[in-house]
Each structure stands twice: as C-alpha cells, then as structure tokens.
Structure 1
Amino acid sequence: MSALPVSIPDGKDEDLLTLIEAAAILRVPVNTLRWWRQRGEGPQFFKIGRHLLITIGDLRTWIESQKGADAAS
C-alpha cells in the first residue's frame, strides 16, 4: 500500500490547518507531530479551544527551515 500524495493547499499564509491535515502533508503519523511538539522540534502549533492548529505559512516556513538544515549537515 502506498501513501497518497498530499501537498500544502493553495491558500493564504494565514489559513489554518489541523494537526491531522499537517500530518498528512508531512506524511508522518499524528503522534509523531505530537512528539515533536512536546520536544519543541516540530512546527509551531497553537490551540484554539481544544484544537491544535498551524497556519499554512508557518508550515511552509518550517518545511523550508528543515530543507536548510539538511543542506547545512
């Protein structure tokens, strides 16, 4: 079974993504994002009520920073 490709949706940088949507885009399990968040290593989510959210712009920025970190190593 192969993963379906999911890309960052076209939208404004301030549009919101849920934890599940971000996990699908990054192709990692939701629990991995939760673990990274606990350790302060992953993208910066914030809460509205009980929901963890991230903006499209913040996710794009985090992905770009990870690309830069790989190039530096």
Structure 2
Amino acid sequence: MNISNMDRLWSVDDVSTYLGVPVKTLYQWKWRGEGPPVRKIGRHLRYDPAKVQAWVNGEVAA
C-alpha cells in the first residue's frame, strides 16, 4: 500500500513541528477542548492536515 504524505493523518509530533509548539501543548489543548480538531485512534491522537491548516487560517473552530 502506497500512501502519500497528504493522504495520511498527522501525529502529535507532526503537528508539533508544523505549528512550532511543544507536544505537551497539543495534549493540553485537547484536554481543554482547544486547538486544531483532533481524533483519537486507539490510544493515539491523529490530525487531518487540511483541518489543521484550516484551523491555523481561522477557518475551523476547534
């Protein structure tokens, strides 16, 4: 199976790097209901890259 980078969901580390914030901040945002939209898959947090980018641009509420 060949999955391009745009088709895969981002990990907490990916979003941390993209936004330039610590991983701990992303977990705090999720706990508070803030930050970019996130889904829990199993015990892992995953982000849709398009929704993270839309959140950065102010187009999506958390």
TM-score range, shorter chain: 0.7 to 0.9
Query: Which structure features the higher share of strand residues?
Result: 1
What is the CA deviation profile of residues 6-37 of structure 1, one whole-angstrom value per residue up to 9, with x for unaligned ones?
xxxxx54x531001110111000000011111
SS in 2 for 1:52: strand
Total equivalences in the alignment? 55
Partner of 2:55: 62
Question: Root-mean-square deviation (CA), in Å?
Answer: 1.6
Q: Among all aligned residue pairs of Structure 1 and Structure 2, give the percentage whose two residues are the same amino acid.
A: 36
The runs of 5 or more residues in structure 1 that have no matched partner are 1-10, 67-73
Aligned residue type for 2:42: G
**Whole-Å separation in 2 of the counterparts to 1:48 and 1:33:** 16
Please give the TM-score of this superposition, normalised by the length of structure 2.
Answer: 0.77
Runs of 4+ in 1 over 3 A off after TM superposition: none
Answer 1 or 2: which has greater helix percent. 1
In the alignment, which residue of structure 2 is the partner of 1:3? none
Gapped regions of structure 2 (runs ≥ 5)? none
Q: Distance in 1 between matches of 2:19 and 2:12?
A: 11
